[in-house]
Chains A and B, each alone.
Chain A
Amino acid sequence: MFRYLIAKNDKSGSWAHLPIFDSAFRFITLAAALSILILLVMMLAVLIYNAWPSIQRFGLKFLISTTWNPVTSEFGALTTIIGTLVSTALAMLLAVPVALGVAIFLTELSPLALRPIFGVAIELLAAIPSIIYGMWGLFVLAPFMSDYIQPFLGRYLGFLPLFQGPPMGIGMFTAGVVLAIMILPFMASIIRDVFLMTPRVIKESAYGLGATMWEVVRQIVLPYGMRGVIGGLLLGLGRAIGETMAVTFVIGNAHELSLSLFAPGNTIASTLANEFTEASDRIYLSALIELGLVLFLITFVVLGLAEWWLKKSTSGGYKA
């Protein structure tokens, strides 16, 4: 490598030495970095510009109205916003404890020889495209839900309005479950990475003092990694809010609010996936783009918080 450099640089006055190349290189890379910011700003601007007719026509009512009627051109986002929040909340409720358990298992419990294998398996599963979770949800999980899980829940918890109604398989509940399964490996692998950053010496000394595994996790690993864990959970949350395909397949796409989790519903993302190419007139399209804008802003805040927490957890503060 260096012989090559020396050979090249021996020729004094070689073109590569012209200072203009250094400035040009710096400028080109700077332009590339700038393009990320420009794209992000452009995205916001384009979304606002295209949503403008809808923003102007419906104003703030857009966010609190449940009407969604393409025939009369009346559009409100509340059903989809609530659907997004409910499906995400359900997914987090189911996935967070399991993800923490998996991460604890991977860092403290599993046999040493198996850890890399489990770790790689989890990471590979986090890479499987969401449409495949959607396919599986529609053809495998939804029938299973309607045959076994939903009748069971209906029989024993049916006094709650949440679990009433016919067990159709497709609906908010199944969407939440599919989402949970999808974000589980993703969150587990981030939390595992955070757990692995705990200095080994401290863990070993705690074990040496006779602490049990749970005490080590509870009093050393968790406090050390708390920020990172929260960041990882927020990242999973951000992914669940914007997730489209896994949800669209199984949520049923109905613009109705229902207390029952068994009823079909929709989310912002599933509405976009289902209706965007059908939107014929301008105000319909504009309302859909405003939905996209709302989704963008929600995820921007959640992911921003996630980045912030994760950054703080890796740079200073908690280093031993």
Chain B
Amino acid sequence: MKKKSMLPRRLVNSVALVASSISAFIGIFFLVWILFEILARGFSAINWAFFTELPLPPGEAGGGLANAMLGTVIITVLAMIMGVPLGILAGTYLSEFGHGRFAGVTRFLSGIFGSAPAIVIGIFVYAIIVVPMKSFSGLAGAVSLAILMLPVITRTTEEMLKLVPSGLREAALALGAPYWHMVVQVVYRGARAGMLTGIILAVARVSGETAPLLFTSLNSPYWPSGILRPMPNLTVTIFNYAMSPYDDWQMKAWGASFIIAFSVLVMNIIARFLVHRMEK
């Protein structure tokens, strides 16, 4: 390090200190502002009817978004049924067998895939499911969410399986366990908490997605009536209601935002808690 006098160094340092503290403050300020608005405006929109009743036409007071909540749950669960096992198996391959060039390419591409624009995935599912089946459907919505979930689960599964000490694997193999049995009985058990974390984070991420549902699941003001028909869901409802000119609908959109933000935060906190416990 070149010799410099102390004063300019201290000055530069103070400027940097102040600048970085200000940016931290700016970041926190906006984010607290957003959370505050969601809480303040969303909470007042929530009442019993909000959770139990169907939406009403604009202008009529009351009604709720029970159908959209149910629809969101159905779509998310369906997406999990499709995305979770596939993601875990793919992650298993990368961790247990993936040492070659193919695995490298898969890792690289699933990294890109994991951040690909959700709306493009919506177009893709529109073209392969909605068009041939001639109907927007909850199934199509679930497939698009499953595709979004897949790379996230694959990546976290791979990372978590790699954390299982190789001594455990070797011990199981030395005892005569066949390879697949070793993976299922030893590696999966050792990485259980971590895999669960990955799944929760993936579900949290897709449960707030709107763009891919706009033209796959669409929306509906009725109760879900089968997975092959348009299915109501919270995020597209927020989009439609927020853009509408009706005060009552806009308020319901805030209520729905509150519920989604709240559940996403809760899922993230649970996931973090699991990781924390696993590290101990």
Contacts and interface: CB of A to CB of B under 8 A. Distances in A.
Contacts of B177: 5, 9, 16
B257 A9 contact: no
Given A1-B186, A21-B180, A39 B93 contact: no
Contact of A244 (B28, B118, B268): B118
Interface stretch (A59-67, A85-93, A157-165, A295-303): A295-303
A124 B265 contact: yes
Contact of B106 (A37, A50, A132, A219): A37
B27 interface: yes
A183 to B, nearest CB: 11
Contact of A100 (B23, B94, B122): B23
A46 interface: yes
B81 interface: no
Given A98-B27, A311-B108, A276 B215 contact: yes
Interface string A1-35: 11011101100000011010110111011111111
B59 to A, nearest CB: 20
Given A105-B24, A245-B239, A277 B16 contact: no
Interface of B: 1, 9-10, 12-13, 15-17, 19-24, 26-28, 30-31, 33-34, 37-38, 41, 86-90, 92-94, 96-98, 102-103, 105-106, 108-113, 115-124, 126-128, 147, 150-151, 154, 171-172, 175-181, 183, 185-186, 189, 201, 204-205, 207-211, 214-215, 218, 235, 238-239, 242-243, 250, 253-254, 257, 260-261, 264-265, 268-269, 272
A99 B98 CA distance: 35
A149 interface: no
Contacts of B21: 101, 105, 109
Contacts of B28: 121
A259 interface: no
Contact of B120 (A37, A47, A245, A249): A47
Interface string A115-148: 0001011111101111111111011100000000
Given A33-B106, A39-B150, A129-B261, 20 more contacts: A5-B175, A9-B175, A16-B177, A16-B181, A32-B93, A36-B113, A39-B147, A47-B124, A47-B127, A99-B27, A101-B20, A140-B33, A215-B1, A248-B239, A249-B243, A273-B211, A276-B123, A276-B126, A289-B123, A300-B116
- Categorize the interface residue count of chain A: 35 or more
A235 interface: yes
Contacts of A248: 239
A303 B147 contact: no
A77 B117 CA distance: 18
Interface in A263-320: 269, 272-273, 276-277, 288-289, 292, 295-296, 299-300, 303-304, 306-308, 311
A244 B119 contact: yes
Nearest to B205: A127
A209 interface: yes
B257 A131 contact: yes
B171 A2 contact: yes
Pairs A-B, 10 closest by C-beta atoms: A129-B208, A101-B23, A242-B117, A32-B89, A25-B180, A29-B93, A212-B13, A214-B16, A105-B24, A32-B90
27 contacts: A5-B175, A16-B181, A19-B178, A22-B180, A32-B86, A32-B92, A33-B89, A33-B93, A35-B90, A47-B124, A47-B127, A101-B21, A105-B21, A120-B272, A127-B265, A130-B210, A131-B235, A131-B257, A138-B242, A212-B12, A239-B115, A242-B116, A245-B210, A296-B116, A303-B111, A304-B112, A307-B112
Contact of A2 (B175, B181, B214, B265): B175
Given A5-B177, A239-B115, A131 B238 contact: yes
Contacts of B15: 214
Contact of A127 (B24, B92, B268): B268
A131 B86 contact: no
Contacts of B33: 140
A230 interface: no
Contact of B215 (A8, A277, A300, A308): A277
Interface of A: 1-2, 4-6, 8-9, 16-17, 19, 21-22, 24-26, 28-37, 39-40, 42-43, 46-47, 49-50, 97-102, 104-106, 108-110, 118, 120-125, 127-136, 138-140, 181, 184-185, 188, 209, 211-215, 217, 219, 235, 238-239, 241-245, 248-249, 269, 272-273, 276-277, 288-289, 292, 295-296, 299-300, 303-304, 306-308, 311
Contacts of B150: 35-36, 39
Contact of A21 (B17, B26, B178): B178
Nearest to B27: A102
B275 to A, nearest CB: 11
A109 B108 CA distance: 34
Contacts of B128: 42, 46
Contacts of B238: 131, 135
Contacts of B38: 132, 135-136
Contacts of B88: 32
B89 A289 contact: no
A123 to B, nearest CB: 7
Contacts of B265: 124, 127-128
Nearest to A29: B93
Contacts of A109: 17, 20-21, 24
